[in-house]
Structure 1
């Protein structure tokens, strides 16, 4: 389980580096929390993030219900499938960069989870890819940004698409974001929902355990949607998913 302070995406020989520091730890379930390693200052850190985590978990549960219904399934389908989720917190700090064209804030990638909930500090920096173009997501104070992750794309057999996104560096301003990642526990098998498979809609992805996908995602170059594309079945590689 990945926790700690530092940088996690600088694993390739690419000369374009990520310009970000991050603090990562688990919020839920209780057995996954190593609170002895959480920051001691400010003194309200633990209380604040545990309360925020509870609110985010409630939101995720509601969203998964709506997404299940959107697939024509029982509202509890996905929630029951993933059982008690792992909720990981990542606090990103992007300092001002004197040469923003030489670095990424965070390189293009899609999230290797089910759903991601992001809160930023009002400074623009997040961009989302559509086709070949990148669009800045306007920072709205107090608003939450929801990303669909790779595992939900697999479960929905491509009906829901994980969002490829990146962060860009800023010359004059620092930026912070608070991100909550929701993932199934490691031994949950992730595959297309059988009710979504028929002759007209064949299975697109190989099934994989959530923990195995997480390991591959963090140990290989995860730029773009490479880890997800590696699971495409042969007949699906010609399909625009």
Structure 2
């Protein structure tokens, strides 16, 4: 794989050109198109919803079930104000919708480095021409450790953008730590188990913008994948488009304005020795409205070695080999995600 030239046209610009058809490089193969999968009735369509104010026993029971069977769930009463969630959505939307193309390009990503900070449309393409692109633009912020944080690289508009991102970053980190402690306890492990295994958080905040698409039945906003780190915390606007794979069915994650979506990532599956699962998810597009989501990733350092928790290995054989996280990231970016193939490569 190689980094695509960021001088290529942003997806938002393509959408604004009113083209009646998407360019060929955005058309998914027939078996991956969103309408080619059975979906349950809308009334049955959502991930679990967990109230973090519940009593300890009930909360841990619900967490265990959601982590074991889904790998993704909504949380309420999470301690982050709805006002801050709304502000984060608002500043992200302002960047994409209120700045012109030349202003956004002032913050473009480094085209020679994967997952570099800034504005872009796509990180990777195959050395061949057969890779399918996502119908998405994004802005990625490096927020933790503090040594990586450089707000001068973030948008200057609206005026409160940088302050909102900094406050949001702090709140998401505290929530991730709280959730990791509870998830550890739900497995009968010490509350610090998962966080100790992950080590210092490397946190990125990615605002994704999915413009209206003239042929949503042929495209994906984000291809099917599981996240590579430890835990992802996500909010979305009222448009919706996030889907989670469960029992071979794509389940729509209905937007809840005051809830946060928790998505377990691959290193948590390794640490829990497969007891808990990372969630395969994707984003679909629509023809009428732009969609915005904000994903906050909490990952280990690339020098961190990740392996199943000793307490769990003592009860049964290890299911995953130890991995240097930097090697896992390199594999993810060179081979592409394609569901869980990078995690499956660690299976013993």
TM-score above 0.5: yes
Distance 1:230 1:91 in 2: 30
Match of 1:195 in 2: 311
Distance 2:118 2:334 in 1: 16
Which of the numbers 116, 120, 125 marks the counterpart of 2:236? 120
Match of 1:182 in 2: 298
Which of the numbers 253, 276, 279 marks the counterpart of 1:163? 279
Distance 2:143 2:123 in 1: 21
Match of 1:229 in 2: 344
Which of the numbers 327, 340, 343 marks the counterpart of 1:212? 327
Taking structure 1 as the reference length, the TM-score comes to 0.91
Tell me, what secondary structure is at the counterpart of 1:151?
helix
Distance 2:150 2:333 in 1: 20
Distance 2:123 2:156 in 1: 26
Are the structure 2 counterparts of residues 9 and 220 from structure 1 closer, same or farther at C-alpha, using a change threshold of 3 Å?
A: farther
Tell me, what secondary structure is at the counterpart of 1:97?
coil
Post-superposition Cα deviations, 1:74-105, rounded to whole Å, max 9, x if no partner, equal 11122222222111010000000001122111
Q: Cα RMSD (Å) of the superposition? A: 1.5
Query: Deviation at 1:15?
Result: 5.7
Match of 2:11 in 1: none
Distance 2:124 2:216 in 1: 17
Larger radius of gyration: 2
Consecutive unaligned residues of structure 2, counting only runs of 5 or more, are 1-114
Matches within 5 A, 1:12-23: 12=126, 13-14=129-130, 16-23=132-139
Equivalent residues of 2:122, 2:136 under 8 A apart: no
Taking structure 2 as the reference length, the TM-score comes to 0.64
Tell me, what secondary structure is at the counterpart of 1:31?
helix
Query: Deviation at 1:178?
Result: 0.7
Distance 2:122 2:320 in 1: 26
Match of 2:220 in 1: 104
Equivalent residues of 2:125, 2:131 under 8 A apart: no
Structure 1 or 2: larger strand share? Answer: 1
Q: How many residues align?
A: 232
Distance 1:73 1:18 in 2: 39
Consecutive unaligned residues of structure 1, counting only runs of 5 or more, are 234-241
